[in-house]
């Protein structure tokens, strides 16, 4: 069983990625409310589709808290249609806004609560799961909480040989117990995982040769033949059988 990555290993991964992409200055949104809208709309879709929906909301002058509280559901569905699952997402977005209005009156008062209370309230709203709640906590409310997504799980699995099926809370704990509590670090580190995941660490055929963290990646090292990284990914089971005996390049 490989040792779990320590702070040094996590920061090495971050530094290599940041050296390539720079500080990414997330979240892509001009206001706290836009972050919340983006966090709901990005469920089960790519950001390019979310951007189209946000553009439509902006054009219709509906991208603000009071407008979404009062907008007709059919109009909201029409505007956010490009983001997919638009009926479900319209209900979730409007439901969250009406909850905030009923319980706190204003968005600022809702977001200014302590981290634990705010997270519990977000998770109590229909359609808000841990990733969405934590994205809102970190990027809209500025609370130090590490966001876990599918890219983070995949990259941590391939780089450090951790199970990709690791529970959300366990992986979040790993980051939060090893890294200093910093909104800026959590903000940018999550953004770096997304950048690597989108551009290189594809689900079936990772593009290791151009990946900024290939030098510390167990998967890339296990698939290296004559200095070249194989393009096609073998089955995850094969990878794990081959990857476990190798030396962690970070140790």
Interface with ligand SF4, residue 158, by CB under 6 A: yes
In terms of CB distance, is 20 or 101 closer to ligand SF4?
Answer: 20
Which CB sits closer to ligand SF4, 61 or 232? 232
Least distance to ligand SF4, CB of residue 205, Å: 9
Burial class (CB in 10 A: 0-12, 13-18, 19+), 111: buried
For the CB of residue 194, give the shortest distance to ligand SF4 in the complex, in Å.
Answer: 13
**Which lies closer to ligand SF4 via its Cβ, residue 19 or residue 61?**
19
Binding mask 203-242 for ligand SF4 (x = CB under 6 A): ---xxx--x-xx--x-xx----------------------
Minimum CB–partner distance for residue 148 and ligand SF4 (Å): 16
Of the listed pieces 43-51, 95-103, 152-160, 186-194, which binds ligand SF4 according to CB under 6 A? 152-160
User: Distance between CA 31 and CA 51 in Å, rounded?
Assistant: 14
Q: Quick one: 53 or 155, whose CB is closer to ligand SF4?
A: 155
Q: Does the protein bind ligand SF4 through residue 119 (CB under 6 A)? A: no
The CA distance from 155 to 198, in Å, is 11
Question: Which of 200, 222, 239, 243 forms a contact with ligand SF4 (CB under 6 A)?
Answer: 200
**Contacts by 69-78 with C-beta closer than 8 Å and gap 24+?**
69/94, 69/97, 69/98, 69/101
User: By CB under 6 A, which span of 70-78, 124-132, 154-162, 242-250 interacts with ligand SF4?
Assistant: 154-162
Asked if 13 is part of the footprint of ligand SF4 (rule: CB under 6 A), the reply reads: no
Among 35, 79, 155, 243, binds ligand SF4 (CB under 6 A): 155
Binding site for ligand SF4 (CB under 6 A): 155, 158-159, 196, 200-201, 206-208, 211, 213-214, 217, 219-220
């Amino acid at each position: 069983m490989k040792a779990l990555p320590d702070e040094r290993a996590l920061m090495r991964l971050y530094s290599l990625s940041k050296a390539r992409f720079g500080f990414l200055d997330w979240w892509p949104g001009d206001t706290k409310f836009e972050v919340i809208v983006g966090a709901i709309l990005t469920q089960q879709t790519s950001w390019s589709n979310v951007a189209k929906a946000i553009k439509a909301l902006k054009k219709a002058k509906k991208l603000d808290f009071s407008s979404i509280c009062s907008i007709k559901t059919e109009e909201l569905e029409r505007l956010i249609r490009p983001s997919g699952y638009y009926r479900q997402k319209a209900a979730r977005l409007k439901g969250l806004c009406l909850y905030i209005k009923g319980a706190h009156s204003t968005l600022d008062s809702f977001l200014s609560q302590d981290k634990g209370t705010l997270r519990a309230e977000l998770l109590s709203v229909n359609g808000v799961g841990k990733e969405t709640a934590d994205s809102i906590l970190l990027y809209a409310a500025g609370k130090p909480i590490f966001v876990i997504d599918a890219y983070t799980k995949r990259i941590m699995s391939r780089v450090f040989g951790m199970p990709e099926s690791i529970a959300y809370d366990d992986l979040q704990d790993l980051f939060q117990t090893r890294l200093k509590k910093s909104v800026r670090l959590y903000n940018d580190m999550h953004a770096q995982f997304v950048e690597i995941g989108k551009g290189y660490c594809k689900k079936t055929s990772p593009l290791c040769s151009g990946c900024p963290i290939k030098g510390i990646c167990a998967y890339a090292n296990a698939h290296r033949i004559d200095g070249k990284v194989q393009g096609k990914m073998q089955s995850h089971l094969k990878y794990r059988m081959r990857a476990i005996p190798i030396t962690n390049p970070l140790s």
